[in-house]
Amino acid sequence: MKINRVLILGIDALEYDLVEEWDLKNLKQEEYGKTILPISKEDGYLYSEPSTLIIWPSFITGFPPKKHGVDTIKKYPLNSIYKLYLNIFSSSGEDHLTPIASQKTFKRRVMDKISHIISQMKLSRPLIKEDIKTSSIFDLPNSIHLHIPVYDEDAFPPYKKKLVDAIENKTYRPIFEMQCMEEFKQRTKEVFEWLERKNEWNLFMQYFFVLDGIQHVFYNNPKKIAKFYILFDEFVGKVREKIDDDTLLLIVSDHGQHKGIHTTHGFYSSNKPLGLKNPKLIDFRWKIEELLGM
């Protein structure tokens, strides 16, 4: 199999079960299935539920959290404060962002306030590229990456701050949905623009946050969720029409989502037979480098 280019669409929270239920044929390419996520304690993972900021660095590096160094949702120079914060303000000492759809308003507001105070005291900070302690797939020649969590500073659009308000207050939801649609249109436009410049890259990855946000806010509205799944399915169909036979199109998610809560498996599909069965998310980097002859 000759591969000259790899195009990766990183779609946050793309759920395998929903792709199957709605029979989204463009998302279900020649090979597709669930992925095994590096979220065990042996992998250095601190939570029982997949966290976006931890799982995506695992995908791009090919290493588990303990190895690549991003095993918290923020950087806490004083680890004892971080552990105390988790134990007091979250259930069973897990990621205070999940399950976001079921958090009570008061508890959520208190936790956000404490998080803000910790940040103001410079006892925590957002994760940045330099926190990743290993090499990544983007070290390959002629690689383009857009909006990758942790690796790029612009991964999340401004509307992410309004996510909790949209969950708690129905009046914000139409605005949130509109902003999700704008983000979808902007990032799909970027993909098509780079497809026209295909001679400038051998590896291209674009990240989409929108499905995660929509499923958190509209977790009890399957029709609204299906609307965005269909949009992504149609988008992938158009991408497949524009790529050459020597381009690998890989679709991958960091986790799925059910009723607003992250599921503990990911999704992948490929327009080429990769010969994978229940692959580990951290295996894809090495498979891609192998196919590109690196």
What is the rounded distance in angstroms from the CA atom of residue 57 to the CA atom of residue 71? 10
Q: Is 203 within 8 Å of 5 (Cβ atoms)?
A: yes
Exposure class string for 51-67: b at 16+ Cβ within 10 A, else e: bbbbbbbbbbbbbbbeb
Alpha-helical (H) ranges within the chain are 16-21, 52-61, 65-68, 79-89, 105-120, 163-168, 173-195, 210-217, 222-242, 284-291
Q: Which amino acid is at 247?
A: T
User: Any residues with CB less than 8 A from the CB of 103 and at least 6 apart, and which?
Assistant: 164
Tokens of 75: 């950087």
pTM across the whole model: 0.89
Which residue in 49, 21, 53 sits closest to 37, CA to CA?
Answer: 49
Domains of the chain, first to last: 5-73+127-291 (3.40.720.10)
Each residue's pLDDT, cut to its tens digit, for the chain (294 residues) gives 789 999 999 999 999 999 999 999 999 999 999 999 999 888 888 777 899 999 999 999 999 999 999 988 877 665 555 555 555 544 433 343 444 444 445 555 665 666 667 666 666 788 999 999 999 999 998 999 999 999 999 999 887 778 888 988 899 999 999 999 999 999 999 999 999 999 999 999 999 999 999 999 999 999 999 999 999 999 999 999 999 999 999 999 999 999 999 999 999 999 999 988 889 999 999 999 999 987
Q: Is 246 within 8 Å of 268 (Cβ atoms)?
A: no
Tokens of 198: 């295909």
Strands lying side by side in the sheet with 265-270: 31-36, 265-270, 247-252, 5-11, 203-208, 143-146
